[in-house]
Amino acid sequence: MKKRIYFKSKSIRNLFFEKVLVSYKLRKWSEIICNLNISRIMLTKYRSGYLTVPESIYNIFIKNFNEKDREYFKNNIFCCDENWGRINGGRKTYFNHKEIFELGRKKAIEKIRENTMRFDINLPLTKELSYFIGLFIGDGFTNKYGYHHIIQFTGDKRKEKEFYSQIISKMILNLFNINTKIKEETLTNTLRVNLYSINLFRLITERFKIKAGRKGKDVLIPEEILNSNQETLLSCIAGIYDAEGCFYFDKRQNYKSPYPAIALHMNNPQLIKQISDIFSRSKIDHSFTKTYSTLYIYGKNNVRTFLSKIKLLNPKYKSKIEMLNII
Protein backbone atom coordinates (compact mmCIF):
# COMPACT_ATOMS: atom_id res chain seq x y z
CA MET A 1 0.00 0.00 0.00
CA LYS A 2 1.25 3.47 -0.88
CA LYS A 3 2.39 5.66 2.00
CA ARG A 4 2.17 9.36 2.75
CA ILE A 5 4.40 11.48 4.99
CA TYR A 6 3.35 14.19 7.40
CA PHE A 7 5.44 16.20 9.83
CA LYS A 8 5.19 16.32 13.61
CA SER A 9 4.94 20.13 13.65
CA LYS A 10 4.68 23.16 11.41
CA SER A 11 8.21 24.31 12.34
CA ILE A 12 9.68 20.93 11.35
CA ARG A 13 7.80 21.04 8.05
CA ASN A 14 9.11 24.56 7.33
CA LEU A 15 12.67 23.50 8.19
CA PHE A 16 12.34 20.47 5.94
CA PHE A 17 11.44 22.50 2.88
CA GLU A 18 14.20 24.99 3.58
CA LYS A 19 16.63 22.06 3.57
CA VAL A 20 15.18 20.82 0.28
CA LEU A 21 15.91 24.16 -1.36
CA VAL A 22 19.46 24.30 0.03
CA SER A 23 20.26 20.66 -0.77
CA TYR A 24 19.41 21.19 -4.44
CA LYS A 25 21.44 24.45 -4.44
CA LEU A 26 18.46 26.46 -5.65
CA ARG A 27 17.27 29.91 -4.60
CA LYS A 28 13.62 30.00 -5.59
CA TRP A 29 10.73 27.59 -5.34
CA SER A 30 10.04 28.18 -9.01
CA GLU A 31 13.36 26.46 -9.72
CA ILE A 32 12.30 23.45 -7.65
CA ILE A 33 9.14 23.20 -9.72
CA CYS A 34 11.18 23.06 -12.94
CA ASN A 35 13.92 20.76 -11.66
CA LEU A 36 11.73 18.19 -9.87
CA ASN A 37 8.75 18.30 -12.22
CA ILE A 38 6.28 19.10 -9.42
CA SER A 39 3.36 21.46 -10.07
CA ARG A 40 3.30 24.80 -8.29
CA ILE A 41 -0.13 24.09 -6.75
CA MET A 42 0.91 20.70 -5.35
CA LEU A 43 4.18 22.07 -3.97
CA THR A 44 2.28 24.87 -2.23
CA LYS A 45 -0.10 22.36 -0.66
CA TYR A 46 2.81 20.20 0.57
CA ARG A 47 4.64 23.21 2.03
CA SER A 48 1.55 24.55 3.78
CA GLY A 49 0.61 21.18 5.24
CA TYR A 50 -2.71 21.20 3.41
CA LEU A 51 -1.69 17.87 1.85
CA THR A 52 0.56 15.12 3.20
CA VAL A 53 3.56 14.30 1.02
CA PRO A 54 3.52 11.06 -1.03
CA GLU A 55 6.42 8.83 -0.05
CA SER A 56 7.77 8.84 -3.63
CA ILE A 57 7.90 12.67 -3.61
CA TYR A 58 9.43 12.70 -0.13
CA ASN A 59 12.24 10.46 -1.38
CA ILE A 60 12.91 12.90 -4.22
CA PHE A 61 13.00 15.80 -1.75
CA ILE A 62 15.60 14.11 0.49
CA LYS A 63 17.75 12.79 -2.37
CA ASN A 64 20.58 15.26 -1.64
CA PHE A 65 20.24 15.35 2.16
CA ASN A 66 23.23 14.30 4.24
CA GLU A 67 22.88 11.38 6.66
CA LYS A 68 22.44 13.63 9.69
CA ASP A 69 19.51 15.49 8.11
CA ARG A 70 17.94 12.26 6.85
CA GLU A 71 18.06 10.78 10.35
CA TYR A 72 16.66 13.93 11.96
CA PHE A 73 13.63 14.11 9.70
CA LYS A 74 13.08 10.34 9.85
CA ASN A 75 12.56 10.80 13.60
CA ASN A 76 10.23 13.77 13.11
CA ILE A 77 7.74 12.46 10.57
CA PHE A 78 4.82 10.07 10.58
CA CYS A 79 4.20 7.55 7.83
CA CYS A 80 0.58 6.59 7.13
CA ASP A 81 -1.35 4.62 4.53
CA GLU A 82 -2.72 6.53 1.59
CA ASN A 83 -6.31 5.94 2.73
CA TRP A 84 -5.69 7.09 6.32
CA GLY A 85 -8.47 9.67 6.06
CA ARG A 86 -11.04 7.02 5.23
CA ILE A 87 -9.66 4.88 8.05
CA ASN A 88 -10.12 7.73 10.54
CA GLY A 89 -13.68 8.18 9.33
CA GLY A 90 -14.25 4.46 9.77
CA ARG A 91 -12.99 4.66 13.35
CA LYS A 92 -15.55 7.33 14.19
CA THR A 93 -18.31 5.18 12.72
CA TYR A 94 -17.03 2.18 14.70
CA PHE A 95 -17.13 3.98 18.05
CA ASN A 96 -20.65 5.28 17.33
CA HIS A 97 -21.89 1.73 16.63
CA LYS A 98 -19.38 -0.34 18.60
CA GLU A 99 -21.73 -3.13 19.73
CA ILE A 100 -22.88 -3.87 16.17
CA PHE A 101 -19.32 -3.92 14.86
CA GLU A 102 -18.10 -6.20 17.68
CA LEU A 103 -20.90 -8.69 17.06
CA GLY A 104 -20.05 -8.80 13.35
CA ARG A 105 -16.35 -9.12 14.10
CA LYS A 106 -16.91 -12.08 16.44
CA LYS A 107 -19.00 -13.88 13.81
CA ALA A 108 -16.39 -13.23 11.12
CA ILE A 109 -13.55 -14.48 13.33
CA GLU A 110 -15.45 -17.66 14.21
CA LYS A 111 -16.06 -18.31 10.52
CA ILE A 112 -12.39 -17.79 9.70
CA ARG A 113 -11.42 -20.17 12.52
CA GLU A 114 -13.82 -22.82 11.20
CA ASN A 115 -12.26 -22.58 7.73
CA THR A 116 -8.63 -22.37 8.88
CA MET A 117 -6.48 -25.47 8.77
CA ARG A 118 -5.20 -26.10 12.29
CA PHE A 119 -2.29 -28.23 13.36
CA ASP A 120 -1.65 -30.26 16.48
CA ILE A 121 0.61 -28.27 18.82
CA ASN A 122 1.94 -31.63 20.04
CA LEU A 123 3.33 -32.52 16.62
CA PRO A 124 6.60 -34.52 16.79
CA LEU A 125 9.76 -32.63 17.73
CA THR A 126 11.84 -32.74 14.55
CA LYS A 127 15.09 -30.96 13.61
CA GLU A 128 13.00 -28.57 11.51
CA LEU A 129 10.69 -27.67 14.41
CA SER A 130 13.67 -27.31 16.74
CA TYR A 131 15.34 -24.98 14.22
CA PHE A 132 12.17 -22.86 14.02
CA ILE A 133 12.12 -22.46 17.81
CA GLY A 134 15.80 -21.47 17.76
CA LEU A 135 15.10 -18.86 15.08
CA PHE A 136 12.25 -17.55 17.22
CA ILE A 137 14.51 -17.35 20.30
CA GLY A 138 16.95 -15.29 18.26
CA ASP A 139 14.65 -13.05 16.26
CA GLY A 140 11.02 -13.69 17.13
CA PHE A 141 8.19 -11.95 18.94
CA THR A 142 4.67 -13.02 19.77
CA ASN A 143 1.68 -11.46 21.44
CA LYS A 144 -2.10 -11.35 21.57
CA TYR A 145 -4.04 -8.28 20.47
CA GLY A 146 -7.76 -8.62 21.08
CA TYR A 147 -8.84 -11.63 19.04
CA HIS A 148 -5.60 -11.78 17.08
CA HIS A 149 -2.49 -13.82 17.86
CA ILE A 150 0.61 -12.65 16.01
CA ILE A 151 4.05 -14.23 15.66
CA GLN A 152 6.64 -11.98 14.05
CA PHE A 153 10.24 -12.22 12.89
CA THR A 154 12.35 -9.23 11.90
CA GLY A 155 15.31 -9.20 9.56
CA ASP A 156 17.42 -7.04 7.28
CA LYS A 157 15.74 -6.72 3.88
CA ARG A 158 19.12 -6.10 2.21
CA LYS A 159 20.58 -9.43 3.35
CA GLU A 160 17.74 -11.69 4.48
CA LYS A 161 14.90 -11.26 1.98
CA GLU A 162 15.67 -14.58 0.26
CA PHE A 163 16.13 -16.30 3.64
CA TYR A 164 12.67 -15.40 4.92
CA SER A 165 10.70 -15.34 1.65
CA GLN A 166 12.06 -18.65 0.38
CA ILE A 167 13.64 -20.85 3.05
CA ILE A 168 11.71 -19.91 6.19
CA SER A 169 8.34 -19.42 4.45
CA LYS A 170 8.56 -22.92 2.99
CA MET A 171 9.60 -24.35 6.37
CA ILE A 172 6.63 -22.72 8.10
CA LEU A 173 4.22 -23.95 5.43
CA ASN A 174 5.61 -27.48 5.76
CA LEU A 175 5.49 -27.46 9.58
CA PHE A 176 2.24 -25.64 10.29
CA ASN A 177 0.42 -25.19 6.96
CA ILE A 178 0.55 -21.41 7.51
CA ASN A 179 1.26 -18.83 4.82
CA THR A 180 3.62 -16.03 5.85
CA LYS A 181 2.95 -12.33 5.25
CA ILE A 182 6.15 -10.40 4.58
CA LYS A 183 6.36 -6.62 4.73
CA GLU A 184 9.31 -4.39 3.89
CA GLU A 185 9.66 -1.11 5.79
CA THR A 186 10.05 1.78 3.36
CA LEU A 187 12.03 4.17 5.55
CA THR A 188 14.34 1.56 7.11
CA ASN A 189 16.06 -1.67 6.03
CA THR A 190 13.72 -3.78 8.16
CA LEU A 191 11.87 -6.85 6.95
CA ARG A 192 8.89 -8.10 9.00
CA VAL A 193 7.52 -11.63 8.70
CA ASN A 194 4.05 -11.91 10.23
CA LEU A 195 2.17 -15.10 11.10
CA TYR A 196 -1.38 -15.12 12.47
CA SER A 197 -2.26 -18.34 14.26
CA ILE A 198 -3.67 -19.12 17.69
CA ASN A 199 -2.21 -22.64 17.48
CA LEU A 200 1.29 -21.39 16.70
CA PHE A 201 0.93 -18.92 19.57
CA ARG A 202 -0.03 -21.81 21.87
CA LEU A 203 2.80 -24.01 20.60
CA ILE A 204 5.37 -21.34 21.47
CA THR A 205 3.87 -20.14 24.76
CA GLU A 206 2.30 -23.33 26.16
CA ARG A 207 4.29 -26.25 24.78
CA PHE A 208 7.73 -24.58 24.70
CA LYS A 209 6.91 -22.16 27.52
CA ILE A 210 8.34 -19.00 25.93
CA LYS A 211 6.45 -16.06 27.37
CA ALA A 212 4.38 -13.86 25.06
CA GLY A 213 5.56 -10.31 24.47
CA ARG A 214 9.05 -9.02 23.93
CA LYS A 215 11.60 -11.60 25.01
CA GLY A 216 13.57 -10.63 28.07
CA LYS A 217 16.97 -11.68 29.31
CA ASP A 218 15.57 -14.92 30.67
CA VAL A 219 14.46 -16.74 27.49
CA LEU A 220 16.25 -20.10 27.22
CA ILE A 221 16.28 -23.17 25.00
CA PRO A 222 13.16 -25.12 26.10
CA GLU A 223 13.55 -28.22 28.27
CA GLU A 224 11.92 -30.43 25.65
CA ILE A 225 14.64 -29.51 23.13
CA LEU A 226 17.43 -29.76 25.73
CA ASN A 227 16.32 -33.31 26.49
CA SER A 228 16.16 -34.35 22.81
CA ASN A 229 18.95 -35.97 20.76
CA GLN A 230 22.07 -34.01 19.82
CA GLU A 231 21.10 -33.35 16.18
CA THR A 232 17.75 -31.87 17.21
CA LEU A 233 19.38 -29.76 19.94
CA LEU A 234 22.08 -28.42 17.60
CA SER A 235 19.36 -27.62 15.05
CA CYS A 236 17.84 -25.23 17.60
CA ILE A 237 21.23 -23.54 18.04
CA ALA A 238 21.53 -23.26 14.24
CA GLY A 239 18.28 -21.29 14.26
CA ILE A 240 19.64 -18.95 16.94
CA TYR A 241 22.84 -18.36 14.94
CA ASP A 242 20.92 -17.79 11.69
CA ALA A 243 19.00 -15.06 13.50
CA GLU A 244 21.74 -13.42 15.56
CA GLY A 245 25.13 -14.82 14.53
CA CYS A 246 27.93 -12.94 12.79
CA PHE A 247 30.62 -14.56 10.59
CA TYR A 248 33.63 -12.37 9.84
CA PHE A 249 37.34 -12.44 8.95
CA ASP A 250 39.94 -10.58 10.99
CA LYS A 251 42.34 -9.07 8.44
CA ARG A 252 44.83 -7.45 10.77
CA GLN A 253 48.45 -7.57 9.62
CA ASN A 254 49.60 -9.87 12.44
CA TYR A 255 47.64 -12.70 10.78
CA LYS A 256 49.26 -14.41 7.75
CA SER A 257 45.83 -14.85 6.16
CA PRO A 258 42.30 -13.63 7.04
CA TYR A 259 41.44 -15.15 10.44
CA PRO A 260 37.85 -16.52 10.54
CA ALA A 261 35.55 -16.05 13.50
CA ILE A 262 31.88 -16.57 14.29
CA ALA A 263 30.32 -14.49 17.07
CA LEU A 264 26.97 -14.68 18.83
CA HIS A 265 26.11 -11.52 20.73
CA MET A 266 22.94 -11.49 22.83
CA ASN A 267 21.91 -9.53 25.88
CA ASN A 268 21.10 -12.78 27.63
CA PRO A 269 23.95 -14.25 29.79
CA GLN A 270 21.96 -17.34 30.78
CA LEU A 271 21.35 -18.30 27.16
CA ILE A 272 25.03 -17.79 26.26
CA LYS A 273 26.01 -19.99 29.22
CA GLN A 274 23.50 -22.60 28.10
CA ILE A 275 24.92 -22.67 24.55
CA SER A 276 28.49 -22.76 25.94
CA ASP A 277 27.65 -25.88 27.98
CA ILE A 278 26.15 -27.54 24.91
CA PHE A 279 29.25 -26.70 22.86
CA SER A 280 31.50 -28.16 25.53
CA ARG A 281 29.57 -31.43 25.46
CA SER A 282 29.58 -31.38 21.64
CA LYS A 283 33.37 -30.76 21.48
CA ILE A 284 33.03 -27.39 19.74
CA ASP A 285 35.92 -25.19 20.94
CA HIS A 286 34.78 -21.70 21.86
CA SER A 287 35.30 -18.76 24.18
CA PHE A 288 33.11 -16.06 25.67
CA THR A 289 33.31 -12.66 27.32
CA LYS A 290 33.42 -12.34 31.11
CA THR A 291 29.88 -10.95 31.15
CA TYR A 292 28.57 -13.80 28.98
CA SER A 293 27.28 -11.32 26.42
CA THR A 294 29.16 -12.78 23.43
CA LEU A 295 30.29 -16.26 22.45
CA TYR A 296 33.13 -16.72 19.91
CA ILE A 297 34.35 -19.50 17.63
CA TYR A 298 37.91 -18.59 16.54
CA GLY A 299 40.21 -20.06 13.89
CA LYS A 300 39.80 -22.01 10.66
CA ASN A 301 39.68 -25.49 12.21
CA ASN A 302 37.26 -24.52 15.00
CA VAL A 303 34.97 -22.70 12.57
CA ARG A 304 34.94 -25.71 10.26
CA THR A 305 34.09 -27.99 13.19
CA PHE A 306 31.28 -25.62 14.16
CA LEU A 307 29.89 -25.57 10.59
CA SER A 308 30.04 -29.36 10.34
CA LYS A 309 27.78 -29.67 13.39
CA ILE A 310 25.67 -26.51 13.23
CA LYS A 311 23.81 -26.52 9.89
CA LEU A 312 23.30 -22.85 9.04
CA LEU A 313 20.61 -22.04 6.44
CA ASN A 314 20.84 -18.26 6.18
CA PRO A 315 22.38 -17.19 2.82
CA LYS A 316 24.03 -14.24 4.59
CA TYR A 317 26.82 -16.69 5.52
CA LYS A 318 27.33 -18.07 2.00
CA SER A 319 30.15 -15.80 0.82
CA LYS A 320 32.03 -16.21 4.13
CA ILE A 321 31.79 -20.01 3.97
CA GLU A 322 33.05 -19.96 0.38
CA MET A 323 35.99 -17.79 1.46
CA LEU A 324 36.73 -20.21 4.32
CA ASN A 325 37.00 -23.06 1.81
CA ILE A 326 39.58 -21.09 -0.19
CA ILE A 327 41.99 -20.06 2.56
Assign 119 to helix, strand or coil. coil
Alpha carbon distance 182, 180 (integer Å):
6
8-state DSSP, 227? T
The DSSP code for 5 is E
Beta bridge mates, 145 = 148
CA-closest candidate to residue 73, choices 31, 123, 18, 28: 18
Tell me the per-residue pLDDT of 182-217, one tens digit each, with 9 for 90 and over. Answer: 999 888 889 999 999 999 999 999 999 999 987 767
- Are the CB atoms for 108 and 27 separated by under 8 Å? no
Query: pTM of the entire structure?
Result: 0.66
- The total of other beta-carbon atoms located within 10 Å of residue 237's CB is 28
Residues in the chain with pLDDT < 70? 1, 81-117, 216, 327
DSSP string, 215-226: --TT----HHHH
pLDDT in the model for residue 325: 82
- Classify residue 290 by burial, with Cβ atoms within 10 Å: 0-12, 13-18, 19+: exposed
- The string of pLDDT tens digits covering residues 75-101 is 888 887 666 555 455 555 555 555 655
CA angle 197, 203, 209 (to 5 degrees): 130
Please give the radius of gyration of the chain, using alpha carbons only, rounded to the nearest integer: 25
Give the pLDDT score at 86. 52
Backbone region of residue 89 per phi and psi (left: phi > 0; alpha: psi in -120 to 50; beta: other values): alpha
65 within 8 A of 23, measured Cβ to Cβ: yes
Round to whole Å and give the CA distance between 246 and 138.
12
| pLDDT at residue number 78 | 81
In the Cβ-directed half-sphere of 16, how many Cα atoms lie within 13 Å? 29
Residue 87's pLDDT is 47
Report the distance separating Cα 139 and Cα 159, nearest Å: 15
